[in-house]
Amino acid sequence: MQNQPDASEAYVLQAELLVDTLSTQKPLFQRGVSEYELIEILKKAPYHFFDDASLREPLMLFKTHFIVFHALYQLKRRWIEQGEGVLDIHTLNIKLNQESARSDNDKKSQDKVGAITEADALAEYYLDWGNFEKADRKSVDALLNAFWQRMASGNAHTFEQEGIVDAHALLGLPQDEHVSLSVLKRVYKKALQLVHPDKGGTQQEAQDVIHAYQLLLGYYSLK
């Protein structure tokens, strides 16, 4: 069992989980979605990444916006590497442009999109957690603590043993095994790979695995 991590580790874990969640929403991005609509989706069950305060107070709004865009640029990079297309990221419309990966000038086009994360000034900004921290470190830490509490349970409630047992079973994690963050992340990534929509699974199966991971993160306080 581990103690509360430093902020940088918490940022990385938060972003990884959000990227995994967003990666199951390909049909949504194929249609196109605004940032506001996306945050509204992430506020609700079964996600519970944010709450109403996330859009109310200016600093909280900035932090929410930054985390969402950080995850989106990570997802953009992932989908480019996988040849899925280019995720066009704008506040009013976030859309997966799959034709970008199939242009007539294929090789040249691939070279171009492969360098997007280095050349795009916005990507550089949102992928740099230093810009996140500059707003106000004390507020950042308070925000992240609230994120972890919401991610762990979605609501303030005690952990039910049946749910913990089911989460272990879903991730293929023996209950009598010592649970460390590295072990939990390893089994989670393996389980998600097997049921991800891109691998023939369904969005619901993927979300069940993500929720099991969130639940055990909170239960073991491995944040």
Q: Domain locations in the chain?
A: 1-135, 158-223
Task: Say yes or no to pLDDT of 6 above 70.
Answer: no
Tokens of 212: 């099991």
User: What was the pLDDT predicted at 56?
Assistant: 72
The identity of residue 32, as a single letter, is G
Rounded Cα distance between 197 and 24, Å, is: 6
> Residues 29-33: what's their mean pLDDT?
95
Selected residue with higher pLDDT from 202 and 139:
202
Per-residue pLDDT band at 158 (split at 50, 70, 90)? low
Each residue of 43-54: pLDDT tens digit? 888 888 887 776
CA 48 – CA 185 distance, rounded (Å): 20
Is pLDDT larger for residue 113 or for residue 158?
158
Q: Which CATH class is domain 158-223?
A: mainly alpha
